[in-house]
Amino acid sequence: MKRSLSILISIAVLLIFIAPLFAQHPAFTHQDTLRGSITPEREWWDLTYYHLDIKVDPVEKMISGTNEITYRVLKPDTMMQVDLQPPMTMIRVDQNGRELSFRRDGNAWFIRLEKAQDIGALNTLLIEYAGKPKVSRRPPWDGGITWQKDSNGIDFIASTCEGEGASLWWPCKDHPADEPDSMLISVNVPGNLIDVSNGRLRRVDDLPDGSHAFHWFVSNPINHYGVNINIGDYVHFSDVYQGEKGPLDCDYWVLRDNLEKAKVHFKEAHRMLEAFEHWFGPYPFYEDSYKLVEAPYLGMEHQSSVTYGNGYQNGYLGRDLSRTGWGLKFDFIIVHESGHEWFANSISNNDAAEMWIHEAFIAYSENLFLDYFYGKKASADYVIGTRALIRNDRPIAGIRGVNYSGSGDMYYKGSNMLHTLRQIIGDDEKWRAILRGLNKTFYHQTVSGDQIESYIIEKSGLDLAPFFNQFVRDVRIPVLEYIIQDSTLRYRWNNCVRGFNMPIAVALDGKTVLLKPTMRWKELALDKPVSRLVPDRNYYAATFNLTGE
């Protein structure tokens, strides 16, 4: 009895110590693997085209229709995974006029193909589906459909599905690694409403029952969560931006009552395009145009159809996230969500774990925007101001294969990491060439964090592997420890990953010195006794005076 009690106590003590190791992330399920990994039933086929053709019924809060999926066979196989989340349900699947059998495993549907799938062949499948999709309670943070009324009592409807996935409302290959090369989105709505989706409006059909079908065509690869419907009593205006690749059509769709406000406020879009074409290169979807579409929620980076609900005011719902004043110099949603056209829509993560690529670069784009119009000090003040939002709770990289992204720190720890990197590179033109080079090299691709890191390492010529390990995959803030004794400065990095060697500029009694610390103590002999070390505020790191002064 006694013996087993002591074993129990030991186990309990052990659990107390190891529990935090397991508390880092939730337990993953079979469904997480089906959703987040490239399963054998996904691996053998490459998406080329979707035609999503749906009817949206605001009275029943129902979506029904078909998705035609065209794909290229990479390996012969006959079992295909397509995702569709309950309560949406597949009704019928056809290939070459033959009805196919399928079974459901949670959110994944496995379709047994009958036709031979020859390598290289381009095949098509038609899925009929219907249901009352999940209603979003807190869009865009919570995925689903938002069924609202505008101030005139007219339906105002939108989809949001980042994170939870497009399969919330339509059947698709819901993994970020694969995107269709193009897509047609056909949306049938009651006669008093307009649907605005991605890409360009090809045509509108007037149907005998008084409803309209809007056909939107996207001629570029599109990520799944970027596909969207926005349905309401929209009015439209447009202009043309003369950009790096020539004239860019800009279209604005807003609720009827907001037209005059929008015509003034949406001039911000041209400022955004000017700043981001400078830093990142040409807008990545000239063929599909640029659109700002009013939505019944804050906003989202829907590709070539950026949704907007920031109330026609500057800041983030009128607030400055940095608390420096600079955040009120621009409309956060127009700048941030449109910035995602470069990082998120053109350069897309190939696994949810790498979502930091989208958010780090685009949180950083906020201060590049400020840098372009208000100068370096404004941009530095802003990004440093946002440090108060960093929690250092989990790494900004998530876990691959289970649809699990990293900490919300991917925004402002991410932007501070990139701001720090700009200091390390120490050459703004080189830094801009790297940002533009990323957009050229990975144009319209899905990528891993490794590819982005390797590119920056190669182009900068710097040993940045420990730097990325520290800021992407660790939660600690590196600490520069130092001791000043008369004319000698001793310093090293601590609280950091193995091999951490980030250079850092410091002022010694006002004189700037670039230190190259490692984890071993280094010594610097100074010309005269020094009393004070002040780190350059642009580096995201802490300092600790070991003499305690």
Instruction: Give helix 428-441 / helix 268-280 axis angle, nearest 10°.
Output: 100
Give the per-residue contact string, 313-352, with Zn ion (x = CB under 5 A; - = no). Answer: ----------------------------------------
> Given the complex with Zn ion, which of 42 and 336 has the nearer CB atom?
336
Spatial contact of 299 and 306, defined as CB atoms under 8 Å apart: yes
Minimal distance in Å, beta carbon 299 to Zn ion?
9
| SS3 call for 112 | strand
Q: Token pair of 426, please?
A: 């120490």
Number of residues near Zn ion (by CB under 5 A):
1
Shorter beta-carbon distance to Zn ion: residue 45 or 279:
279
Residue the block writes with tokens 């005139």:
152
Residues 161-180 that bind Zn ion (CB under 5 A): none
- Asked if 197 and 228 touch (Cβ cutoff 8 Å), the reply is yes
Q: SS3 for 399-426, per residue?
A: ECCCCECCCHHHCHHHHHHHHHHHHHHC
* Minimum separation from the CB atom of position 387 to Zn ion (A): 18
Query: Least CB distance from residue 418 to Zn ion, whole Å?
Result: 14
Give per-residue burial for 38-68: e unless 16+ CB within 10 Å, then b. Answer: ebebbebbbbbbbbbbbbbbbeeeebbbbbe
Residue 263: strand, helix, or coil: helix
Q: Quick one: 362 or 541, whose CB is closer to Zn ion?
A: 362
Shortest distance in whole angstroms from residue 417 CB to Zn ion:
16
Closest CB 358 distance from Zn ion, rounded Å: 6
Interface positions, 243-302, toward Zn ion (CB under 5 A)? none
Identity of the residue, 293 or 362, whose beta carbon is nearer to Zn ion in the bound complex: 362
For the segment 70-109, give every residue that binds Zn ion (CB under 5 A): none
> In terms of CB distance, is 145 or 362 closer to Zn ion?
362
- Angle subtended at Cα 129 by Cα 50 and Cα 230, rounded to the nearest 5 degrees: 65
Residue with Cβ nearer Zn ion (362 or 424): 362
**What is the pattern of x (binds Zn ion, CB under 5 A) and - over residues 346-385?**
----------------x-----------------------
- The C-alpha atoms of residue 181 and residue 186 are separated, in whole angstroms, by 17
Measured from the CB atom, the residue of 321 and 362 that comes closer to Zn ion is: 362
Minimum distance from residue 298 beta carbon to Zn ion (Å): 11
**Comparison of 107 and 439: residue with beta carbon closer to Zn ion:** 439
Contact pattern for Zn ion over residues 196 through 215, marking x by CB under 5 A: --------------------
CB of 484 to Zn ion, least distance (A): 42
CB of 362 to Zn ion, least distance (A): 5
Structure tokens at 446: 């899905």
Question: Least CB distance from residue 321 to Zn ion, whole Å?
Answer: 12
Q: Give the Å distances, CA to CA, from 176 to 62, 145, 165, 448, 533.
A: 26, 21, 9, 11, 46
Residue 281 vs 414, nearer CB to Zn ion? 414
CA atoms lying within 13 Å on the CB side of residue 458: 10
The CA-atom distances, in angstroms, between 101 and each of 79, 92, 453, 511 are: 10, 8, 44, 75
- Applying CB under 5 A, the residues found at the interface with Zn ion are 362
